[in-house]
Structure 1
Amino acid sequence: MLEELRITGLGVIEDTTLSLTAGMNVITGETGAGKTMVVTGLGLLFGGRADAGRVRSDPGRAVVEGRLRLAEPAATTVGTRVSDAGGEPDEDGSLLLSRTVTVEGRSRAHVGGRSMPVSMLGEIGEQVLAVHGQSDQLRLLRPAEQRAALDRFAGGEHEKLLAALREAYTGWRRVSDDLADRRRNARERSQEADLLRLGLDEITRADPQPGEDADLKAEAQRLEHAEGLRTAAQTAQQCLAGDADPTDETPDVTTLLGLARRTLEAQSGVDPALGELSARLEEAATLVGDVSAELSGYLASLDADPARLQTVYERRAVLRGLTRKYADDVDGVVEWAERARARLSELDTSDDLLEELERERQRLADEVAEMAARVTASRREAAGRFADQVTVELAGLAMPHARIEVAVLPRPAGRSDPTLRVDGIEVGVSADGADEVELRLLAHPGAPALPLQRGASGGELSRVMLAIEVVFAGSGGPPTLVFDEVDAGVGGQAAVEIGRRLSRLARTHQVLVVTHLPQVAAFADRHLVVAKDTGGAVTTSGVRVVEDTERARELARMLAGLPDSDLGIAHAEELLAVAARERRL
């Protein structure tokens, strides 16, 4: 659950802290006081899109901070993800989240004391929070959203079926597109393949090896300067090892080092420092000996053969011909050849390959059709259960005679989606199957079953949305639910029933409700009021908890706009008493 939320510099909110409880938290206030900024702050904290236009110019940045206490199974999922990213929970086990947005639009996020990508907040939000507002009601009118709602309700096995369908559909479309492209562009593919084969034949005959051009360049340089290299190596070797003319009495380096070492060693007993220097001269003598041996090997490897030099020249000329056509160096030529071989396999338009692709396309099409039929059957089975459960919830929301139907219909062929025969019917198929899902409302007995977008008023749609969310909550989902004025267009007994239903939902979830209805606010375990302050040069808002008499005055204001009316306060107290009795049931 979200224990605490602090908002700074966002819209009309200068700096305020909301202390939240585990049950039902209600946020009320005058229109324009800043209730929407609380929901906006929640959205930012959990990875929502940042709007720099909502940031106050002073101090020039908006900061939203939250303290989250996780329970299973979210604790394991979120905790592992945060730990892998380097974050740590606080000492009391809670997780601190932070989001900063500047007036320039820059955004930063922190999780568990570490800077994180904003997407990390989004990942956490998916696990712990679900926000429902009037925009969600509008989304529920879209067929795709209604299908997604049914799929979500259907559960884990259905999701596995959908995943298998999507995988098969992706393979089918990939093979189908490949086959169509090979048939449509056969001539162009054949021409491109001929050019690639010519290049590959030339490269294959030359057989260039990686790094060969650099090796030949170095070898040519050695062969061209062989005499100079030989003279230099011989002179150095003779100076080191004493292989010069025997009549030459000039001492070599090895002899001089040996003399120096022995001289120092003879006096090491008098001064140990000379012994240390003697040991270092011995190391130097060993190094000189190694260099001398390597010079001998170098001299033996020198080749001044003119025929070899000519061969190197000719090979370099062949490689330069390749690099002029295919790449900057021989390594690039080798890579070009590898890419050309891979491309040739893609360009193949032979009858054998086309027949093989056609067989694979048909096999995958049959698999997609079979999977789509299974998904349809799963949806129809879930549709009945979903409709029954939502209908039961509507009865508890002052719609006792209303009924929800969920129609799973075959998607008509001939639209933008490809078509297949599923269960003997030609239908349009997508990665989500071959179905169109439509939620229908029967408002009262004898009324026709009409699609939600035609048969539901604003108040009815609010209650349908709440009923669906209650059904979802019973099968798991995020532990914290936020409802932003989803009771718009509702009043009277229906408003009381919404408050009662939200209160029951709060027994298993943390619920945050932004509302204008006193009938809903009366059911809160904690009542927070957003109040506007216009006393200064700049209008600001803050949030405070109201209890007892102060809470009754706030409900009186919501009832009649008169917080000090004795009759309004008496009505509010009666409403609070009714709600308290209902919560005890």
Structure 2
Amino acid sequence: MLEELRITGLGVIEDTTLPLTRGMNVITGETGAGKTMVVTGLGLLFGGRADAGRVRADPGRATVEGRLRLSSQTAKAVAARVVDAGAEPDDDGSLLLSRTVTVEGRSRAHVGGRSVPVSLLGEIGEQTVAVHGQSDQLRLLRPAEQRASLDRFAGPEHEKLLTEYRELFTAWRRIEDDLADRRRNARERSQEADLLRLGLDEITRVAPQAGEDEELRTEAQRLEHAEGLRTAATIAHQAISGEDEAADASSLVNTARRSLEAQATLDPLLGELGLRLEEAASLLGDVAVELSAYLASLDADPERLQAIYERRAALRGLTRKYADDVEGVIAWADHAQKRLSELDVSDEALEELDRERQRLAGEVAGAAARLRAARLGAAGQFADKVTVELAGLAMPHSRVQVMVLPRPAGKSEPSLVVDGEEAGITADGADEVELRLLAHPGAPALPLQKGASGGELSRVMLAIEVVFAGAGGPPTLVFDEVDSGVGGQAAVEIGKRLARLARSHQVLVVTHLPQVAAFADRHLVVAKDTGGAITTSGVRVVEETARARELARMLAGLPDSDLGIAHAEELLAVAARERAA
């Protein structure tokens, strides 16, 4: 739930705070007072596109801040994503969000006091807030949106079916494209394959090994300086364990050790030093053994040195052509081998790809048929539930039909035989979904864009949202003048439905209808101040008499009319009784 929203420097709003509550929050005000800026601010707070043209020149930036109380349904997922981004909710479980936009168009976002990408605000918004405006009504007229609405209603199992279908569809299209490309560009692919084979043959003949160039360099250096290395090792070996025992290092250390051990009973410190000399003597012995082995292995072998020179020259030939080092050459060869399999345009390869394409096409058609069956099953339930809601929205004789029809073949997309009938097929299946409205008994079922007026479309959209709310969804719902074109009894019914939604969701409604505003748990008024040099707007909570005056203004444009106030109070009483019932 959104507990508080503060907006500064946005449009006509200089600085205002909206205290929000659970249930139904209504925002009203004169035309041009800035109601739309509240919705715009919400959009910014939850990752919407920033419009620098709405930022006030003074102070030169717009800031929207909000305090979000995470509900039990969304707390875990949102909190985990926030922590991943390096931020943290407050100790009381609330989350502070902030978005700033400058007149130059620069945008910054903060969550929990930490700077974050704007996209994180969008991710939080997807799980916590759903905004519906008049543009959503237009979007509902698009066939793709109607199909998405049905898929959303069908629930998690349907979503799983859709995901499985899309994975198969993607694999099938990848094979289709690959096969078409191989046939279309056979000559170019053959030329590229020939070049790769030449390179692979050269690398195979040399057969480079990882780390080989460094090992050869070290060995060549030893062979080139064998005499100097032998002299150094011999002198060191004689110094440690030469024939003259009185002069070599091992004998001298042992003599010192024995001298100290003889007096260790008189002073323990000498005993400790004697032990350290014993360790030194052991270390000298190990070094002497290793030097002896080194001298035995050291051999000036001109033939071996020549072989190393030749091997290093062969490796340099590869690194000049294919990569900077031997490891890069090996990686190039691995990539070339994989690429060759992709370039294969032999009859055998094309036939194998074609068999795989046909197999996947059959699986895609089967998955599309299962998806269609699921949509058909959900369509009846969806239509029935929306129709029931329309009856409660003063459209008692209207019915909604949800048609799931095969997508016509012959368009730009490919086609497959699904359920025995050829249909165009896309990443969303082989179906077209169309919402139709029967406005009254005996009327033809017409598509929404042809059969619904503006007011009817508003109510259809609200009915759909009520149905969706019953199946879960974001805990906060925002409606921006979705009651446009509605009045009279229909407006009262919209108020009832929004109040019903507010039992399980936080609802924010921007409205011009007093019949809707009367159902609010909290009523906020956006008021414009034109007394200064610059027009500004602020938001205030109205209660009791002030609320009745605001409703009177909405009813008749006369906030101080006794008759208007009496009518407003009667409307509030009716709404209170309806909500209680």
TM-score (norm 2): 0.92
- TM-fit CA distance, 1:213: 1.8
Residue in 2 that maps onto 1:361: 357
CA distance in 2, matches of 1:569, 1:332: 84
Residue in 1 that maps onto 2:95: 95
CA distance in 1, matches of 2:182, 2:535: 67
Once the two structures are superposed, the pairs formed by residues 104-253 of structure 1 within 5 Å of their partners are 104-112=104-112, 114-239=114-239, 241-243=240-242, 246=244, 251-253=247-249
CA distance in 2, matches of 1:107, 1:272: 75
Task: Give 3-state SS (helix, strand or coil) of 2:25's partner.
Answer: strand
Amino acid at match of 1:175: I
Residue in 1 that maps onto 2:510: 514
| 2:388 paired residue among 384, 392, 401 | 392
Note if 1:30 corresponds to 2:30. yes
Note if 1:582 corresponds to 2:574. no
CA distance in 1, matches of 2:332, 2:220: 26
Could you report, residue by residue, the CA deviation over 1:367-387 in whole angstroms, capped at 9, with x for unpaired residues? 211221222222223222222
Structure 1 pair 258–14 and aligned structure 2 pair: CA distance change class (3 A): farther
List gaps (5 residues or longer) in structure 2: none
Higher mean displacement: 414-423 or 281-290: 281-290
CA distance in 2, matches of 1:571, 1:284: 107
| 1:337 paired residue among 333, 339, 344 | 333
Residue in 1 that maps onto 2:39: 39
Amino acid at match of 1:46: F
Structure 1 pair 530–269 and aligned structure 2 pair: CA distance change class (3 A): farther
CA distance in 1, matches of 2:559, 2:272: 98
CA distance in 1, matches of 2:26, 2:257: 93
Structure 1 pair 16–279 and aligned structure 2 pair: CA distance change class (3 A): farther
- TM-fit CA distance, 1:433: 1.0
Structure 1 pair 44–308 and aligned structure 2 pair: CA distance change class (3 A): same
Task: Give 3-state SS (helix, strand or coil) of 1:6's partner.
Answer: strand
Amino acid at match of 1:142: R
Amino acid at match of 1:44: L
Structure 1 pair 17–257 and aligned structure 2 pair: CA distance change class (3 A): farther
- TM-fit CA distance, 1:272: 7.8
Task: Give 3-state SS (helix, strand or coil) of 1:39's partner.
Answer: helix
Structure 1 pair 145–325 and aligned structure 2 pair: CA distance change class (3 A): same
Structure 1 pair 534–202 and aligned structure 2 pair: CA distance change class (3 A): same
Structure 1 pair 18–289 and aligned structure 2 pair: CA distance change class (3 A): farther
- TM-fit CA distance, 1:344: 1.6
Task: Give 3-state SS (helix, strand or coil) of 1:64's partner.
Answer: strand
- TM-fit CA distance, 1:545: 0.9
| 1:351 paired residue among 347, 352, 362 | 347
Structure 1 pair 152–305 and aligned structure 2 pair: CA distance change class (3 A): same
Higher mean displacement: 174-183 or 265-274: 265-274
Amino acid at match of 2:464: I
Task: Give 3-state SS (helix, strand or coil) of 1:399's partner.
Answer: coil
Structure 1 pair 298–160 and aligned structure 2 pair: CA distance change class (3 A): same
CA distance in 2, matches of 1:394, 1:278: 101
- TM-fit CA distance, 1:57: 4.4
- TM-fit CA distance, 1:343: 1.3
Amino acid at match of 1:500: K
CA distance in 1, matches of 2:114, 2:286: 55
Residue in 1 that maps onto 2:544: 548
CA distance in 1, matches of 2:285, 2:32: 91
- TM-fit CA distance, 1:137: 0.8
Once the two structures are superposed, the pairs formed by residues 469-548 of structure 1 within 5 Å of their partners are 469-548=465-544
Task: Give 3-state SS (helix, strand or coil) of 1:208's partner.
Answer: coil
Task: Give 3-state SS (helix, strand or coil) of 1:338's partner.
Answer: helix
Higher mean displacement: 316-325 or 171-180: 316-325
Could you report, residue by residue, the CA deviation over 1:114-146 in whole angstroms, capped at 9, with x for unpaired residues? 544333332222222111001111111111101
Structure 1 pair 272–534 and aligned structure 2 pair: CA distance change class (3 A): farther
Task: Give 3-state SS (helix, strand or coil) of 1:299's partner.
Answer: helix
Amino acid at match of 2:42: L
CA distance in 1, matches of 2:62, 2:252: 79
- TM-fit CA distance, 1:465: 0.9
- TM-fit CA distance, 1:258: 5.6
Residue in 2 that maps onto 1:6: 6
- TM-fit CA distance, 1:558: 1.8
Note if 1:416 corresponds to 2:412. yes
Structure 1 pair 224–386 and aligned structure 2 pair: CA distance change class (3 A): same
Note if 1:561 corresponds to 2:566. no
TM-score (norm 1): 0.91
Higher mean displacement: 316-325 or 273-282: 273-282
Once the two structures are superposed, the pairs formed by residues 439-450 of structure 1 within 5 Å of their partners are 439-450=435-446
- TM-fit CA distance, 1:559: 2.1
CA distance in 1, matches of 2:565, 2:277: 104
Residue in 1 that maps onto 2:463: 467
Note if 1:427 corresponds to 2:426. no
Alignment coverage as a number of residue pairs: 581
Task: Give 3-state SS (helix, strand or coil) of 2:78's partner.
Answer: helix
List gaps (5 residues or longer) in structure 1: none
- TM-fit CA distance, 1:332: 1.8
CA distance in 2, matches of 1:347, 1:163: 30
CA distance in 2, matches of 1:87, 1:472: 31
CA distance in 2, matches of 1:53, 1:423: 53
CA distance in 1, matches of 2:109, 2:285: 63
Residue in 2 that maps onto 1:297: 293
Contact persistence 2:241–2:288 (CA under 8 A): no
| 2:453 paired residue among 448, 452, 457 | 457
Q: Taking every aligned residue pair, what percent have the same amino acid on both sides?
A: 80
Residue in 1 that maps onto 2:400: 404
CA distance in 1, matches of 2:232, 2:14: 82
Structure 1 pair 109–269 and aligned structure 2 pair: CA distance change class (3 A): farther
- TM-fit CA distance, 1:106: 4.1
Structure 1 pair 525–230 and aligned structure 2 pair: CA distance change class (3 A): same
Structure 1 pair 281–568 and aligned structure 2 pair: CA distance change class (3 A): farther
- TM-fit CA distance, 1:197: 2.1
Report the aligned-residue RMSD: 2.8
